[in-house]
Amino acid sequence: MMPWEGAPQDRLWLAWPASGYALGDSDDTAQAAQRTWAAVANAAAEFEPVTVVVDPSDVAAARAHLSSDIELREAPLDDAWMRDMGPTYVIDEAAAGGPALGAVDWIFNGWGDPGWAEWTKDAEIAEAVIGWSGGERIASSIVNEGGGIHVDGLGTVLLTETVQRGAGRNPQLSRADIEAELRRTIGATTAIWLDRGLTRDYEKFGTRGHVDIVAAFAAPGRVLVHDQTDPSHPDHAVTAEVIERLSNSRDASGNLLEVVRLPAPAVLRAKDVEGVDDWVDYSYVNHVLVNGGVIACGFDDPADEVAAAILAEQYPGRNVVTVDARELFARGGGIHCITQQQPSVPPLAE
């Protein structure tokens, strides 16, 4: 089963931004990307081991930006979104000899085969990471990404219609087909379907509806949800529908979910890496949990402190560290999107 993301971890995985759209078309945009990826990795390294996969041509640049405590692994890369191209880790509690690490290798096609994406190299990264981490590879038959699912560790999974069954991924499959594959691979017995994701996520560099900027389990039975309160923003209607859906949903234990709202930042529009102005999808939901900490998105916005306080309350005993994530969102994602946690294997019960 895929553990809740707050379970103990052995390490956090990232990839270093390689040549391509993530770096942009100038030295300034490339350096902005590198600084932001490094800030996330360095913040996480204060809490647990961190490994960054680096294209062989970028080792010197990565080493110059990253803490000396961070391990580098070399592999050819197209891009740097480890949550999506990397493996999704699971724990097999029933393995012979005791609990064992497994890792799902989804089919990755650059978020639904958009015309701009390159993914030939990235499609091989999950298998490489699995080999380095020592897990058992579980090949999946569906196109999916780690950012397209969120779990409570007890069998509940959140997902969206426009990702798992959208054009370019698995339009030929029914909900039942998708649910059967998620049951086989990550142990999900209860799927809670959302109709769609945030508005900007459907533009050029979007994922077409990843759930990890919309909702996340703060704990089994409790869900953090992006709440856009400004009625002029198109996500006002989107998040109202999501909140209503989740408030009336039951988890794998049969309990109604408790919904905790994370307010959207006050800013409503921003430019992407190509300079195109659009509605923001800035979301505090897109944080990553590490041992003893939370690496949270910041946007130089008055709501940053409000969100950090809510996260501290929802994750007692964890230190909340905020990293400016605007350069990530300009490229189509956030802190959760560039990271992937490797859970610790529980010791054999005596």
Spell out where the chain has E strands: 9-15, 50-54, 71-74, 88-92, 100-107, 136-143, 150-151, 156-160, 190-194, 215-219, 222-227, 258-263, 269-271, 277-279, 288-290, 293-298, 319-324, 340-343
Domains and CATH numbers, the chain: 9-343 (3.75.10.10)
| Residue 241 near residue 196, CB atoms below 8 Å | no
Q: What is the pLDDT of residues 289-347, one digit of tens each?
A: 999 999 999 999 999 999 999 999 999 999 999 999 999 999 999 999 999 999 999 98
pLDDT of residue 24: 67
Torsion angle (degrees, nearest 10) of CA 176, 218, 3, 330: 80
Catalytic residues: 337
Q: What is the pLDDT of residues 6-56, one digit of tens each?
A: 999 999 999 999 876 667 667 888 899 999 999 999 999 999 999 999 999
Nearest to 265 by CA among 286, 237, 245, 250: 286
Average pLDDT over residues 138-165: 98
Q: What is the pLDDT of residues 104-131, one digit of tens each?
A: 999 999 999 998 889 999 999 999 999 9
Average pLDDT over residues 80-104: 94
Q: Which contiguous run of DSSP H or E holds residue 28?
A: helix 27-44
The pLDDT mean for the chain works out to 96
> Half-sphere exposure (CA, 13 Å, Cβ side) for 66?
28
pLDDT of residue 94: 83
Average pLDDT over residues 225-241: 98
| Residue 135 near residue 103, CB atoms below 8 Å | yes
pLDDT of residue 114: 92
Q: What is this structure's pTM?
A: 0.97
